[in-house]
Structure 1
Amino acid sequence: MQNIVKLMNRLMHFRYNCGFNVRYSEPSISTFSRFLNLISEFEIFKEDFKQLIKALI
């Protein structure tokens, strides 16, 4: 999870696509963890997020 947060620090569009404000620093790991818990409740979001991560790596 730390790597994803670091990725958000480098790629502003990734942070924006995840719903975080690009004007502020990257989210903390605990904030990002809550974000992942929220989207994991919806299968379509979980699959979209996995595809986004694969595309960025």
Structure 2
Amino acid sequence: MQIAAEAVKRMENNPRLSEQIRSAIAQSGIQEFQQRLKHPAAHFVIGALEDWQKTQNI
């Protein structure tokens, strides 16, 4: 969960990164994005991204 919280924090503080992630999600969907994140914490990060999407109206 700490990794997911840090990922969201970095996205919120970096507009360029935020836009890149929004674009990647818009193009391929959240599930495809999860498959590209080949990391054990990807599940938590995806959950945080889904919540982030809702608050950002993506």
Q: For this structure pair, what is the TM-score category when the shorter chain's length is used for normalisation?
A: 0.3 to 0.5
Which structure is higher in RCO with an 8 Å CA cutoff and minimum separation 6? Answer: 2
Instruction: Name the one with the larger helix percent.
Output: 2
TM-score w.r.t. structure 2 length?
0.40
With the length of structure 1 as denominator, give the TM-score of the two structures: 0.40
